């Protein structure tokens, strides 16, 4: 059984090195090209998708649409779910990572970016950036909308969707792709690969590169691999790791 994971292509705030979180920003031209290339790579791999799950943020949705339009595939069923959203970066959203590192120090920003269980400073409930003011979430109970999240929170948010829905479809033999975000995908990778809380800090997922998992009947990974030029992929992973450094 195969599962394809795809982080959205480069967004405008990726380019500007800003904390994005739940802020709904567009893809850059490079991001669109990454999405196109992802579709070509999946098509070359010969994967026919039955179901696609994505977040409700347009950088993931647009990546999915571009990706799917660039390989010959039976039209899969598409599902949108807020549980696949990026981790919420609280009051850091919109701030430049480099400038934030210069102000607070590399170590503090690394903690905010990569610590498993330490959240960035929260948004106040009356901050216009708070998701309770966004129409996309008006049907949700306001008490479950985050003011800030650590990766542990993202895991807790994501896993019910995985356990109650997506994993069951894979066990039925459906070929699934999840198009989401760096941290929501890290949450799943942590679960699948049984990565420790400490080790997950150093895991980085590049934009626009399909990550394929081959799973056994119990959804335990047999192997996983990125599609594409492996040297380019390593460079992109290293670039993600350095985003929060002041130097």
Residue ranges covered by each domain of the chain: 2-87+150-241
Q: What percent of the chain has pLDDT over 90?
A: 83
Q: Where are the beta strands (DSSP E) in the chain?
A: 2-7, 51-54, 77-80, 176-180, 211-215, 221-226
What's residue 15's pLDDT?
93
| Annotation says 86 is catalytic | yes
Among candidate residues 34, 86, 88, 181, the one labeled active-site is 86
| Annotation says 8 is catalytic | yes
Among candidate residues 8, 88, 130, 181, the one labeled active-site is 8
Distance CA 31, CA 236 (A): 13
**In the 3-class helix/strand/coil scheme, how is 80-133 assigned residue by residue?**
ECHHHCCCCCHHHCCCEHHHHHHHHCHHHHHHHHHCCCCCCCCCCCCCCCCHHH
Could you tell me which residues are beta bridge partners of residue 180?
7
pLDDT band at 241 (very low <50, low <70, confident <90, very high): low
Structure tokens at 136: 């996309």
- For residues 108-124, average pLDDT: 90
Residue 240 has pLDDT above 90, yes or no: no
Task: Indicate the class that CATH gives domain 2-87+150-241.
Answer: alpha beta
Instruction: Tell me what the pLDDT averaged over the chain comes to.
Output: 93
pLDDT band at 205 (very low <50, low <70, confident <90, very high): very high
- For residues 183-193, average pLDDT: 96
């Amino acid at each position: 059984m195969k599962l394809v994971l795809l982080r959205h292509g480069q967004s405008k705030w990726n380019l500007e090195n800003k904390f994005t979180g739940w802020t709904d920003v567009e893809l850059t031209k490079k991001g669109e090209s990454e999405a196109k290339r992802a579709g070509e790579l999946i098509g070359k791999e010969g994967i026919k998708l039955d179901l696609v799950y994505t977040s409700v943020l347009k950088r993931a949705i647009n990546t999915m649409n571009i990706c799917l339009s660039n390989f010959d595939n039976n039209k899969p069923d598409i599902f949108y779910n807020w549980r696949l959203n990026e981790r919420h970066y609280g009051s850091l959203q919109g701030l430049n990572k480099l400038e934030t590192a210069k102000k607070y120090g590399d170590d503090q920003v690394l903690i905010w970016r990569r610590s498993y269980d330490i959240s960035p400073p929260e948004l106040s409930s009356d901050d216009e950036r708070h998701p309770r003011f966004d129409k996309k979430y008006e049907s949700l109970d306001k008490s479950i909308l985050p003011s800030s999240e650590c990766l542990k929170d993202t895991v807790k948010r994501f896993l019910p969707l995985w356990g109650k829905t997506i994993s069951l479809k894979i066990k039925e033999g459906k070929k699934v792709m999840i198009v989401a975000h760096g941290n929501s995908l890290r949450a799943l990778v942590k679960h699948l690969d049984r990565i420790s809380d400490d080790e997950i800090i150093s895991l980085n997922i590049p934009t626009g590169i399909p990550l394929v998992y081959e799973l056994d009947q119990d959804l335990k990974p047999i192997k996983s691999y990125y599609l594409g030029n492996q040297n380019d992929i390593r460079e992109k992973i290293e670039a993600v790791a350095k985003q929060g450094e002041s130097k």
